[in-house]
Amino acid sequence: MITQVKAVGDYTQASGAPARKQLTFFTTYSQISGAFFPQKFAFNCLLVVALVMVY
């Protein structure tokens, strides 16, 4: 669910940015998904079943 890996940086070495520095402009989706959705595959399966039942 999280689209931005925290272990690596977004900048190249030639840019002069510190190691592991990341952009924060397009990370709203990652922050929201990381806060509200558990990191379990079973939860995703149950969510799909519930959405199919509602449909």
Of residues 48 and 33, more confidently modeled: 48
Residue-wise pLDDT tens digits, 6-17:
677 777 778 888
Cβ–Cβ under 8 Å, residues 9 and 17: yes
pLDDT higher than 70, residue 3 = no
Cβ–Cβ under 8 Å, residues 37 and 2: no
Model-wide pTM > 0.95: no
Instruction: Report the pLDDT value the prediction gives residue 12, as an integer from 0 to 100.
Output: 77
CA–CA–CA angle 47, 52, 55 (5° rounding): 125
Q: What ranges do the domains of the chain cover?
A: 13-54
DSSP-assigned states of every residue in the chain:
---S-TTS-SS-GGGTPPTT----TT-HHHHHHHHHS-S-HHHHHHHHHHHHHH-
Instruction: Report the pLDDT value the prediction gives residue 2, as an integer from 0 to 100.
Output: 56
